[in-house]
Amino acid sequence: MLDGDGYFDERVAARYDESAAEMFDPAVVDPVIDFLVEIAGSGRALELGIGTGRIALSLAQRGVPVHGIELSKAMVARLRAKPGGEDIAVTIGDFATTTVDGTFTVAYVVFNTIMNLTTQAAQIACFRNVAAHLEPGGCFVIEVGIPDLQRLPPGETIRPFHVSETRWGFDEYDVAIQGLASHHFEMVDGRVERLSIPFRYVWPSELDLMAQLSGMRLRERWSGWKREPFTSDSRKHVSVWEKPAV
Ligand SMILES: C[S@@+](CC[C@H](N)C(=O)[O-])C[C@H]1O[C@@H](n2cnc3c(N)ncnc32)[C@H](O)[C@@H]1O
């Protein structure tokens, strides 16, 4: 049963940093920060789905003021408990529709979180909401996986995305609705815990169209934060759309 915190409730928040430990590795985080610092310039950053502050805390330490939007109070409580976490402004709400004061030179949503919006309408609303918060010339940055459909055998709906001694993950596709349910199973204190989260997968070209509908245009697209080329073999993309300068 979902409470007001959505899928990242107290139980998930308590283990988030540990479960996603590899994403907290400086080798993963530092290139994200370098990229965002450059795009933010001397302006402010808006993070959609700020979570426990994996990116926001380091970005703030590098001198970029960050404002977060986040559904889960449980995740924000973890952010607050970290050094510097009390200094980051967070608005509790749905990042597709929640508004905050001021304007930003960059807004970003990383780690596949755009897919947490499970309808096309919500994803478009998110682009429009971001565009309304950006200064002219400001940018929207998304990091999201490429749908794994090329690896899905005909007639199959399930793809494993993680298999180890203590964790197993399977993505379940429903191509009729661009639906993707990620099923996580993890051994915790000798018991297997299960968490299933619904997503809507979305193609780069569809995101470009959403940007266009919101008055933005594609500025750059890479397969990683170090500006690795984006090709037909890329498993994810980092894309930047720009709101035209007046
Ligand atoms: C995968 S976590 C990413 C957290 C953080 N950005 C990071 O990179 O570690 C996704 C976060 O987005 C939040 N979230 C998901 N859907 C949301 C929505 N519609 N509005 C606001 N927050 C949302 C979740 O509660 C969770 O904290």
- Per-residue confidence band for 2, with pLDDT thresholds at 50, 70 and 90: low
Taking CB atoms and a 6 Å cutoff, what residues make up the pocket around ligand 1? 6, 8, 49-51, 54-55, 69-72, 75, 94-96, 110-111, 113, 116-117
From the CA of 246, how far away is ligand 1's center (Å)?
A: 32
Q: Over the chain, what is the mean pLDDT?
A: 96
Helix %, strand %, coil % of the chain (to 5): 35, 35, 35
Return the ligand 1 atom nearest residue 109 CA.
Answer: 6
Rounded to two decimals, the pTM is: 0.96
Which candidate, 94, 102, 166, 83, places its Cα nearest to that of 123?
Answer: 94
Strand (E) or helix (H) holding 210: helix 204-213
Q: Is residue 98 scored above 70 in pLDDT?
A: yes
Give the model's pLDDT for residue 246: 80
Mutation probe of ligand 1 site: the residue of 12, 116, 238 with most atoms within 8 A of C-beta: 116
Cβ-contact 104, 208 below 8 angstroms: no
Give the model's pLDDT for residue 230: 98
Tokens standing for residue 62: 């590098």
From the CA of 11, how far away is ligand 1's center (Å)?
A: 15
Ligand 1, atom 18: nearest CA belongs to which residue?
A: 94
